[in-house]
Every structure is written in C-alpha cells, then in structure tokens.
Chains A and B, each alone.
Chain A
Amino acid sequence: MRQVIHEVRNHLAVAIANVEGFRDGIIEPTPARLDAVLHALGEIEVLLARAASAERKEGVPES
C-alpha cells in the first residue's frame, strides 16, 4: 500500500506541476505536455484499479 501511495504521489506531481505551469503561463500546453499529464492520470487510474481489486481479493469490503 505504501508503494502505491508513493507512486500515486509521483504521478500527481507530474499532473499538478504541468497544469499549474499552463495556468501560470510558464509553459505552453503543447501536445507532448498534455500527453504527459494524461499519461500520469492514466497511471493513477491503473494504480487505483489494482488497489481496489487487491482489496476485493483480500475480502475487505469497499466503503
């Protein structure tokens, strides 16, 4: 679980830093940068799906 949290934070760091950069006008939202954000969000989605399925296997009820 600790590893998942760590990885989610890393991907969030990429997404947040880029979007703030767009907002602050520091970087241009080029297709490559938008892809980097989408990729980071996609990775978070995968990590959450994996964590949810692991939890189901352990029989812990989802709240």
Chain B
Amino acid sequence: MTNRKVLIVDDERSLLDVLGQYLQDEGFEVVRASDGPMAVELFSTSHPDLVVLDLNLPGLPGTEVLKRIRAERDVPVIMLTARTDEIDRVVGLELGADDYIGKPFSPREVVARVKSVLRRSERAEHEPSATERQIGAITIDNVAHEVRVDGKWVTLTPTQFKILDVLASHVGQTLTRDQLLERVSADGDVFDRTLDRHIANLRARIEPDPTKPRYIVTVFGVGYKMVKPA
C-alpha cells in the first residue's frame, strides 16, 4: 500500500497540514489543494489514486469537484463534511462518493478509511464482472438470481433478492435506509417501514440465527450493513 498518491482537498490549511503528515507517515505520497478549482487542476496533473475531499470549498463546491473528477476518471473519493444533512446525498447514488467522514474526525480514522477504501477498490478491479459473489457461507448469483446458503438453495422474493444484492455489493459499508430504498425500490413499491420487514424476512432465510444477525447487521439510527462473519 506504499507510494499510493492521495489528493487532499480542504480550505482549512491547518487540516491539510496535519492530514498530509499522517498520510505521509504511512507511506502515502500527498498532494494538497485548498480550493475547488485547484483541486480539479491538481487531480488532472498529479493522477492521485484516491481523493479526500471536503464538501465545503471556496471557488467550486465539493459536490461539483466530485462530479468533474468522476467525469475524468473513476477514482475512489472520501468526502469530509461538517454537515450531516448532506451525507445521504453525497454517499448516495446521486454523487457516489465511496465513503464519508464527519467533522470533527480523528486523523487516524482518516488514514484507516483511506487504506480501507483503497483496498476495496483494488479488490474490485481484480475481480471484474463476477456473476457469483461469496460472503461467508452465502453465495449470490446475480445473473441467475439465485442464492445458496451453505450450498443449499434459498428462495427469496425479488425484493429480498434486490436488498441482499445491494447490501452484498457494499460489504462492510453502512447503507442508510434512504440509500437502500432508493436502490431497491425502482418502482416505489418498498416503503420506509416495510424495509425493516423485508430485512427481517431476508434474515430468516439466510441467517443461521435470525435473532442474532451475523451477515446483515443493523447500524442503529442509520441503516444496515452487510458484513463477512469472522
């Protein structure tokens, strides 16, 4: 994981300074930008492997920077924000950031997330267009729309399958209720509270003990997360 290049963008120079030092200490090469236009330019010229991007930037808002960066090249982006009300929009489908970190944060946390997002994206690159996904004892075939647990077929409703498929494509990442609803319910047939019921039914089919979920865990007050049992 050494010699990866990270572009950090924040209008607070003091934060650029500290975060940059932490990342350099971990062997990353660091490029810093303190406003939106500078971020877009440095992104083109320095070819970073990952971008840590503050949402609130002078010159060009972070959301716009994200769009331009993504238009140019598909690199992982971690958003920094002091505005929790923006998080859904930023990490959701609309803008598609890979992760976010709320301010204030611990710089160690930023380093840990940078590493984990890089690992995730590198793993994804090495496993292109897999039709079968394996999470613990669960196998999901998203072409045949089939699910096996410990090799045994499980019957799921189309909605349960969609929920499982969305969660399984973001292992380790918390999806908010809104994100799940948005991705699962193309035709608006899944509503907020029924989501919980779908999750409960899904757990009953795939969890060894649905009362103590090991695969689909609840992140209280936020949403759900799929994890790979240890």
Contacts and interface: CB of A to CB of B under 8 A. Distances in A.
A21 interface: yes
SS of B interface (majority) = helix
B83 A33 contact: no
Interface in B66-105: 82-83, 85, 102-105
A51 B167 CA distance: 41
B105 A13 contact: yes
Given A12-B104, A20-B18, 16 more contacts: A5-B82, A9-B102, A10-B82, A10-B103, A13-B12, A13-B15, A14-B12, A15-B104, A17-B106, A17-B107, A18-B14, A18-B18, A20-B107, A21-B22, A21-B107, A33-B17
Interface in A6-47: 6-7, 9-10, 12-18, 20-21, 24, 26-27, 33, 36, 40
Interface of A: 2, 5-7, 9-10, 12-18, 20-21, 24, 26-27, 33, 36, 40
A6 B82 contact: yes
A5 B19 CA distance: 22
Interface residues of B, number: 20
Contacts, number: 63
A12 to B, nearest CB: 4
Question: Which of B14, B19, B108 neighbours the largest number of chain A CB atoms within 10 Å of its CB?
Answer: B14
